[in-house]
């Protein structure tokens, strides 16, 4: 019998790699097993058409946790972040456009653009930005903390809560009540308390619905706005690209993890997690090979972990029932396009520098009702005929991605529900692509003629290619009942699982908000606590 490895990590998504780095740094030699031929999960760059490369899945980070960036020294491993400014370009129905810049408080450029629609909003915008930044400041430290066990608070948990309580009290009672109110609110109500113009309301509220099965009128979308702000407090919520595409981020994290002592094997599919009497003993590969391990950290989503990888007889029926009820039906699709040249948006034709204006997030969703209608169709198993889109042209700030003069465009399209009624994604994938192009063409009429190649990735594709259950980009719905101490389940938010020696480190754990690395870092922290305790024992 082979000697067991100390730790096996399942999946080489960014969180798993971050966890591998921290374990390596602590002197362990984790073995990372990845089913796909490359490490990185949703952080990938592919040449999807000769000469055109783009971030296949995620096209921007959600604000990598700064601690992760510095601990892993990602810049030394080749990570270069690009933050286009202006951050957001949001064309409206009447041919105008709202343009929001970074740093909303120190210059008047955003205000000038907002003033086209409302002077009052232009005046209030900096105050909103400051308020959001203050609240984000209270939440930020919580992102890199293990959520307290609400159901049976221990001393450490009380400390975390007290810390959060103190941080809250430090910002004053007004902000404290804001935090308590904003979380459960509908983001549409939240922005309406501040602003009167539809383009601004809609552009900001997009943060509250992105990737979620929520419309702006859904209660709880306020919590998502806050969660996103914790990583990127600018209300414009601009994009943060990685030079060379997201694959470069994967390479940088892989480099850091490897250097720290992790071993990464790609093209190796884990078929099961083995356990005996409630203690994890290793993994079984699809090839039939078994790898014994003292501990397993799993970067895949909770449903796949518990319902497919773990033998159900190792788990309590109640627990399994709860996991089955964990919601992870995605609503986000992705369209990548190779373009012959930069499309002409009608709203920028009168601006001096269209290339610069379009370099950030292009927000398609000019009104709250537009966004809500886009959501409506998905409730009944259809995709919206006028979807909410977040498009980017990364080749504007990173010309190497496309041949000279040509461009790549990457579009998140929402709402495209995982489960279609009376049909499936195989039959509808191109129809979705057409809908996205048609929607964009309303604002950039020459776009359809510029498309050299188009690649549609539906939630079904996300599930099949990346193993995300339900095609959910966050490994499970970011709803009030699945956040913080409740993510993935009440009682199991500490990255530990009912199996001793098995840990979760993916987006299905707190904070779970996209490409931040926080889940991986937190999971590694908890794992190492247990590991050291075991060593001493």
Partner 1 sequence: MASPRYDAIVIGAGHNGLVHAAYLARAGRKVLVLERRRVLGGAAVTEEVFPGFKFSVCSYVVSLLRPEIIRDLDLPRHGLEILPLDGTFTPMPNGDYLWRVNDHARTRREIARHSPLDAEAYEEYGKAMAEQGRFVKPILGMTPPDPSRLGPDVIRKLMFLGRRFRDLPEPDQYNQVQLMTMSAVDFLDQWFETDVLKATMSASGIIGTFLGVRSPGTAYVLLHHYMGEIDGAFRSWGFSRGGTGAISNAIAAAAREAGAEIRTQAPIARILVKNGGAAGVALENGDEFEAKVVSSSVDPRRTFIGMMEPGVLPEDFVEQVTRYKFRGSSGKVNLALDALPDFKCLPGPGPHLRGAISISPSVDYMERAYDDAKYGRFSRRPYIDCVIPSLTDPSVAPPGKHVMSCFVQYAPYHLKEGNWDEQREAFGDTAIDTLAEYAPNIKSIIRHRQVLTPLDLEREFGLSEGNIFQGELSLEQLFFLRPVPGWAQYRTPIKGLYLCGSAAHPGGGIMGAPGRLAALEVLKDLRG
Residue ranges in contact with partner 1 by CB under 8 A: 150-153, 169, 173, 176-177, 180-186, 189, 193, 214, 217-220, 222, 318, 322, 325, 327, 369, 372-373, 376, 379-380, 479-481, 486, 490-491
- What is the CA 505 to chain-centroid distance, rounded? 14
Nearest to 459 by CA among 517, 412, 408: 412
d(CA 519, CA 144): 8
Angle (deg, nearest 10), helices 425-441 and 459-466: 120
Cβ distance 277 to 499 under 8 Å?
no
What is the DSSP code (8-state) at residue 145?
S
CB of 431 to partner 1, least distance (A): 22
Nearest to 56 by CA among 184, 262, 227, 242: 242
**Given the complex with partner 1, which of 277 and 318 has the nearer CB atom?**
318
Cβ distance 301 to 507 under 8 Å?
yes
**Given the complex with partner 1, which of 105 and 151 has the nearer CB atom?**
151
**Given the complex with partner 1, which of 32 and 187 has the nearer CB atom?**
187
CB of 167 to partner 1, least distance (A): 14
Nearest to 255 by CA among 264, 246, 242: 264
CB of 498 to partner 1, least distance (A): 12
DSSP element (H, E) containing 319: helix 317-325
**Given the complex with partner 1, which of 169 and 453 has the nearer CB atom?**
169
CB of 168 to partner 1, least distance (A): 9
DSSP element (H, E) containing 16: helix 14-25
CB of 382 to partner 1, least distance (A): 12
CB of 322 to partner 1, least distance (A): 7
CB of 73 to partner 1, least distance (A): 39
**Given the complex with partner 1, which of 4 and 498 has the nearer CB atom?**
498
**Given the complex with partner 1, which of 211 and 222 has the nearer CB atom?**
222
Cβ distance 18 to 68 under 8 Å?
yes
As beta bridge partners, residue 47 has: 53
d(CA 506, CA 163): 25
**Given the complex with partner 1, which of 412 and 492 has the nearer CB atom?**
492
């Amino acid at each position: 019998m082979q000697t067991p490895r100390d730790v096996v990590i399942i999946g080489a998504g960014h969180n798993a790699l971050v966890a591998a780095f921290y374990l390596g740094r602590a002197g362990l030699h984790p073995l990372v097993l990845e089913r796909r031929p490359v490490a990185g999960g949703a952080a990938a760059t592919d040449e999807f058409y000769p000469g055109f490369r783009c971030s296949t899945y995620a096209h921007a980070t959600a604000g990598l946790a700064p601690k992760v960036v510095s601990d892993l020294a990602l810049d030394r491993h080749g990570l270069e972040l690009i933050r286009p400014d202006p951050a957001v370009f949001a064309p409206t129905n009447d041919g105008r456009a709202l343009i929001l810049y970074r740093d909303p408080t120190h210059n008047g450029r955003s205000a000038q653009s907002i003033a086209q629609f409302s002077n009052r909003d232009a005046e209030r915008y900096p105050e909103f930005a400051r308020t959001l930044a203050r609240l984000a400041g209270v939440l930020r430290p919580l992102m890199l903390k293990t959520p307290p066990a609400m159901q049976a608070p221990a001393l450490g948990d009380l400390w975390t809560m007290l810390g959060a309580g103190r941080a809250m009290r430090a910002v004053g009672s007004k902000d404290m009540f804001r935090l308590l109110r904003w979380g459960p609110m509908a983001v549409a109500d939240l922005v309406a308390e501040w602003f009167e113009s539809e383009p601004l309301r809609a552009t900001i509220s997009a943060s509250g619905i992105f990737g979620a099965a929520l419309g702006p009128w859904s209660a709880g979308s306020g919590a998502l706005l806050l969660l996103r702000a914790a990583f990127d407090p600018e209300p414009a919520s601009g994009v943060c690209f990685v030079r060379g595409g997201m694959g470069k981020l994967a390479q940088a994290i892989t480099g850091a993890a490897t250097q720290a002592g992790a071993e990464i094997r790609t093209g190796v599919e884990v078929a099961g997690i083995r356990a005996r009497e409630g203690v994890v003993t290793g993994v079984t590969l699809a090839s039939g090979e078994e790898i014994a391990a003292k501990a397993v950290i799993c970067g895949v989503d909770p449903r796949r972990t518990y319902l497919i990888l773990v033998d159900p007889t190792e788990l309590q029926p109640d627990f399994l029932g709860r996991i089955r009820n964990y919601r992870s039906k995605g609503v986000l699709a992705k369209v990548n396009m190779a373009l012959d040249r930069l499309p002409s948006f009608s709203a920028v034709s009168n601006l001096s520098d269209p290339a610069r204006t379009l370099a950030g997030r292009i927000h398609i969703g000019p009104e709250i009702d537009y966004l809500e209608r886009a959501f409506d169709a998905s409730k009944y198993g259809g995709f919206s005929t006028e979807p909410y889109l977040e498009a980017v042209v990364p080749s504007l700030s990173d010309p190497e991605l496309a041949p000279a003069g040509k461009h790549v465009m990457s579009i998140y399209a929402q709402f495209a529900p995982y489960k279609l009624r009376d049909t499936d994604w195989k039959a509808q994938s191109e129809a979705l692509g057409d809908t996205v192009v048609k929607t964009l063409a309303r604002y950039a009429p020459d776009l359809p003629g510029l498309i050299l190649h188009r690649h549609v990735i539906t939630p079904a594709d996300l599930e099949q290619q990346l193993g995300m259950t339900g095609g959910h980009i966050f490994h499970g719905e970011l709803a009030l009942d699945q956040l913080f101490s409740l993510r993935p389940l009440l009682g199991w938010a500490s990255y530990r699982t009912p199996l001793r020696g098995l840990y979760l480190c993916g987006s299905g754990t707190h904070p779970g908000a996209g490409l931040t690395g926080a889940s991986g870092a937190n999971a590694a922290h908890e794992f190492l606590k247990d590991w050291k305790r075991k060593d001493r024992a």
